[in-house]
Every structure is written in C-alpha cells, then in structure tokens.
Amino acid sequence: MKQEIENFHFVEASLQRSFKSLSEISFINRARTPNEIELVNGPPFDFYRVSLHYMFTMEYIKLMELNKEQYPTNHYASLEKLSITVFKNHGDNFKQKHELNLDLLSEIRASDFFNKLKGDRDKKFAHADSNYSDPFSFHSFSDGEIQEGSEHLKKFKLIMDNCTSVFDYEFAFQHIDSRTDNFIKFHTKYKEYYYKNYFDAMKNGCGLL
C-alpha cells in the first residue's frame, strides 16, 4: 500500500500526534486537587502545555489542508489529498466514501474550532502577525474546546477508515496512554509524603537538588 498511496504514512503520523497531544492537554487541564494544580501550573508542565498546543494545532491543520493540484508534492498529510488519491486509484468503488469524506471535511472547516486553530497556526504559531495579541499570551483550551477537538478526531478516524477500507486495513491511533495522569497523581502524593518526612529523608541522603 505504501508504494501505491504514498501519503498514507504522513497522514498516519499526523493523526497519532494530534490524538496524543490533545489527550495530554486533557490530562493536564482536568479537574484536580489543589496540590495537583500547583504541580501542573509549574515547571515543566507550564512549558509542556504550550508545546502540546503547538503540536496539536500544527498537526491538526496539516490534516485539514486543501489539496492543490498545482502543487502535487505539498500537503502530504492532508486528509483531502489522501481521499482524492484513493479515489483516483479506485474510482467508482470509492466514490460514495470519497464524497462522504469531503462532506465531513466541509463540516469541520465550517466550525469555530477549526477557524480558531487555523488563525493560531497562520498568525501566531507558524508566523507572527503584529495584530494578533500579545506574543507572550497563551490561553489553554476550555473543556468545550477539548471536547470539540475530540469530536473532530472521531471524524478524522471515519475519513481514515473510509480510505483504508478499500485495502482491507484499519489504522488505529486512539490509544489512551494514562502515564502522564498517573505521574501527576503519584508525584503529588510523593511530594506530600516527602515534606512530611523531610528530616528523615535528608538523613538518608534523599534531599532534593
């Protein structure tokens, strides 16, 4: 399949990174105890949160790029380009699913969430426009935006499943990895225990650097 549809792997990589980064953002942003909030609002999580927003925005917009026939080697992670390429190779057998893919992409492009991310990518992340707020400002996603992003990823999965169906192949990228969530919980408990037993820890050579 790689030889026949070259941009499959580019799309797969962007889907994986989009889902992983949004999942990590949701772990950091979820309701937490006061001590957990203190941890995720300090280093390294304050920088990690910003980095995740960059990754999600850039990979999400890669997937949503328009196919431009005059630039055949551009936008290789575009879901639209992928669907068009599969349609060119499989014709009538894929026509109905291709039309559904284009309808789903049109729905996503009409959403406020897509236009927010496209504006961030074009004017703040990939470029810097002077009229696009304070360069030091950063606003995390709201719970509603995380939910909308998750719904868009479900539509991406449907588009991808349509494209891979003609090959009898399914690409799974929505694997929940809860290690960051567990780290936040367990490290907070460790910190609480450490400070309650600070002097014993120091005597045993376990002082913090």
- Same domain (yes/no): 208, 117: no
In a domain, 2, yes or no: no
- Same domain (yes/no): 45, 137: yes
Which of 143, 149, 145 has the alpha carbon at shortest distance from 174?
149
- Same domain (yes/no): 83, 186: no
End-to-end Cα spacing for the chain:
52
Q: How many structural domains does the chain have? A: 2
Local confidence band at 133 (pLDDT 50, 70, 90 cut-offs)? confident
Local confidence band at 3 (pLDDT 50, 70, 90 cut-offs)? very low
For 23-71, what is each residue's pLDDT tens digit? 999 999 999 999 999 999 999 999 999 999 999 999 999 999 999 888 8
- Same domain (yes/no): 41, 57: yes
In a domain, 3, yes or no: no
Which of 99, 60, 94, 64 has the alpha carbon at shortest distance from 79?
64
- Same domain (yes/no): 120, 163: yes
- Same domain (yes/no): 145, 65: yes
Which of 23, 27, 26, 2 has the alpha carbon at shortest distance from 12?
2
Residue 170 vs residues 128, 159, 164: alpha-carbon distances, Å: 38, 11, 6
In a domain, 20, yes or no: yes
- Same domain (yes/no): 193, 143: no
